[in-house]
Structure 1
Amino acid sequence: MKNVFLIGTGLIGGSMLLDLREHFKDAVFYGVDQNESHAKRAVENGIVDQVASIKDVVNADLVLISVPVDAALEVLPQVLDLVPEQALVMDVGSTKEAICKTVENHKNRRQFLAAHPIAGTEFSGPDAAIKSLFNDKTMIVCEVEKTAFKLQETAKQLFDLLGMRVRYMTPAAHDRHIAFVSHLSHISSFMLGKTVIQEEESERDIFDLAGSGFESTVRLAKSSPAMWTPIFAQNKKHVLDSLDGYIENLVRFRESVNTNNYKAIYDDMEQTNRIKTILKGIQNGK
Structure 2
Amino acid sequence: MNVFVVGVGLIGGSFAIDIKAAFNEAKIYGVDRSEDNLEEALSLGLIDYISNLDELDKADVVIIAIPVDATVEILPTILDKIDDNCLVFDAGSTKKKLCSTVEHHDKRRNYLAVHPIAGTEFSGPQAAIANLYRGKTNIICEVEKTAFKLQEKGMEIFSRLGMRIRYMDPSSHDKHIAYVSHLSHISSFMLGKTVIEKEKNERDIFDMAGSGFASTVRLAKSSPAMWAPIFKHNKENIIETLEEYIANLAQFKELIENDDFLAVYREMEDTNHIKTILKGIA
Please give the alpha-carbon distance, in whole angstroms, between the structure 2 residues aligned to 1:282 and 1:22: 25
Q: Deviations over 1:134-159 (max 9, x none)?
A: 11100000000000001111111111
Q: Secondary structure at the match of 2:166?
A: strand
Please give the alpha-carbon distance, in whole angstroms, between the structure 2 residues aligned to 1:126 and 1:108: 30
* Number of aligned residues: 282
TM-score, length-normalised on structure 2?
Answer: 0.98
Q: Deviations over 1:182-206 (max 9, x none)?
A: 0000000000000000112268523
- 2:199 and 2:206 in contact (8 A); partners too: no
Letter matched to residue 221 of structure 1: A
User: Paired residue for 1:61?
Assistant: 60
When the two chains are superposed, the root-mean-square deviation of aligned CA atoms in Å is 1.1
Please give the alpha-carbon distance, in whole angstroms, between the structure 1 residues aligned to 2:43 and 2:206: 34
Q: Secondary structure at the match of 2:121?
A: coil
Please give the alpha-carbon distance, in whole angstroms, between the structure 2 residues aligned to 1:37 and 1:78: 23
- Percent sequence identity over matched residues? 58
Runs (4+) of structure 1 exceeding 3 A deviation are: none
Please give the alpha-carbon distance, in whole angstroms, between the structure 1 residues aligned to 2:233 and 2:32: 22
TM-score, length-normalised on structure 1?
Answer: 0.97
Q: How far apart are 1:263 and its partner, in Å? A: 1.2
Q: Secondary structure at the match of 1:22?
A: helix
User: Paired residue for 1:76?
Assistant: 75
User: Paired residue for 1:274?
Assistant: 273
Q: Deviations over 1:46-82 (max 9, x none)?
A: 1101111111111100000000000001111000000
User: Paired residue for 2:236?
Assistant: 237
User: Paired residue for 2:142?
Assistant: 143
Q: How far apart are 1:28 and its partner, in Å? A: 1.8
Q: Does structure 1 residue 40 correspond to structure 2 residue 39?
A: yes
Q: How far apart are 1:45 and its partner, in Å? A: 1.0
- 2:6 and 2:64 in contact (8 A); partners too: yes
Please give the alpha-carbon distance, in whole angstroms, between the structure 2 residues aligned to 1:44 and 1:239: 39
Please give the alpha-carbon distance, in whole angstroms, between the structure 2 residues aligned to 1:163 and 1:17: 14
User: Paired residue for 2:181?
Assistant: 182
| Uncovered stretches (5+) of structure 1, i.e. residues with no partner | none
| Uncovered stretches (5+) of structure 2, i.e. residues with no partner | none
The correspondence of residues 9-158 of structure 1 with structure 2, limited to 5 A, is 9-158=8-157
Please give the alpha-carbon distance, in whole angstroms, between the structure 2 residues aligned to 1:33 and 1:201: 38
- 2:19 and 2:26 in contact (8 A); partners too: no
